[in-house]
């Protein structure tokens, strides 16, 4: 994972609530066995069918931040949703609330989930709708989102460990394996009634 410290860029306003991961990347894209190449499928059910869809609008091209309504990323656990957003060029998503699995997947891959109060999300949405050139800065080290044009400077929550991993770009598995002795010790006391699976 690449370190993510500060993200500065323009934003896309996706003024919809309950954006599920089936919308972010439709199922027929999930047949691929690679992690790359999902950007072309991002929100494809919407941009293919809705000419006015925000990603079809030239003024939002090359933005790196997505602003969405509440409950972004609910539904299917598909990490492909995160891969699609990142492959398309997004580095962060701002929403009042995220689906739990999506939020976990995002932080494992380096996409920053920025949880803000509904009124902050609303103000940012209106600002970038009114002026697509608006620049937003997300500082992961300080956990602050700044948008001077809208006079917004708001903090966002993230546990210390996740922030440290993002900022340092650390491999989660490598960190866990530092505790291998503890895992092995735990395994010694696994109850005998629990099932194990043999190849037969």
Site size toward another protein (CB under 8 A) is 64
The arrangement of strands across the sheet holding 152-155 comes to 6-9, 136-139, 144-147, 152-155
Pure H helices in 8-79: 21-24, 44-47
CA distance 49 to 100: 29
Smallest CA-to-CA distance from 16 within 61, 59, 54 is with: 54
Residue 41 touching another protein (CB under 8 A): no
Closer residue to another protein, CB minimum distance, 62 or 180: 180
Smallest CA-to-CA distance from 90 within 102, 74, 77, 76 is with: 102
Residue 51 touching another protein (CB under 8 A): no
Residue 129 touching another protein (CB under 8 A): no
> What is the x/- site pattern for another protein, positions 65-94, by CB under 8 A?
----xxx--xxxxxxx-x------------
Residue 125 touching another protein (CB under 8 A): no
- Compute the least distance from the CB of residue 46 to another protein, in Å: 8
Q: Name residues contacting another protein, limited to 159-198 (CB under 8 A).
A: 159-162, 171-173, 175-177, 179-180, 182-183, 186-187, 190-198
Residues 6+ apart with CB under 8 A from 98: 71, 72, 73, 106, 113, 115
SS3 content of the chain, % helix, strand, coil (to 5): 40, 20, 40
CA distance 72 to 40: 20
Q: What burial class does residue 99 get, using C-beta atoms within 10 Å of its C-beta: 0-12 exposed, 13-18 middle, 19+ buried? A: buried
- Compute the least distance from the CB of residue 55 to another protein, in Å: 16
Element housing 139 (H / E):
strand 136-139
Residue 97 touching another protein (CB under 8 A): yes
Residue 104 touching another protein (CB under 8 A): yes
Stretch that binds another protein, among 56-64, 97-105, 131-139, 147-155 (CB under 8 A): 97-105
Stretch that binds another protein, among 22-30, 60-68, 133-141, 143-151 (CB under 8 A): 22-30
Residues that bind another protein (CB under 8 A): 15-18, 20, 22-23, 26-28, 30-35, 45, 49, 69-71, 74-80, 82, 97-101, 104-105, 108-109, 159-162, 171-173, 175-177, 179-180, 182-183, 186-187, 190-199
């Amino acid at each position: 994972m690449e370190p993510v410290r500060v993200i500065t860029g323009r934003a896309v306003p996706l003024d919809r609530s309950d954006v599920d991961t089936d919308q972010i990347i439709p199922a027929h894209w999930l047949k691929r066995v690679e992690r790359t190449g999902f950007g072309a499928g991002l929100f494809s059910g919407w941009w293919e069918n809705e000419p006015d869809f925000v990603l079809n609008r030239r003024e939002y091209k090359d933005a790196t931040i997505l602003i969405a309504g509440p409950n972004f990323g609910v539904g299917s656990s598909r990490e492909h949703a995160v891969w699609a957003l990142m492959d398309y060029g997004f580095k962060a998503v701002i929403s009042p609330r995220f689906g739990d699995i999506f939020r976990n997947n995002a932080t494992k891959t380096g996409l920053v989930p920025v949880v803000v109060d509904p009124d902050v999300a609303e103000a940012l949405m209106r600002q970038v709708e009114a002026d697509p050139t608006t620049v937003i800065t997300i500082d992961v080290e300080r956990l602050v989102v700044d948008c001077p044009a809208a006079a917004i400077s708001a903090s966002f929550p993230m546990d210390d460990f996740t922030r440290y991993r993002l900022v340092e770009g650390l491999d989660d598995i490598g960190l866990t394996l530092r505790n291998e002795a503890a895992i092995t010790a735990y395994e010694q006391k696994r109850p005998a009634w629990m099932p194990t699976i043999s190849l037969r």
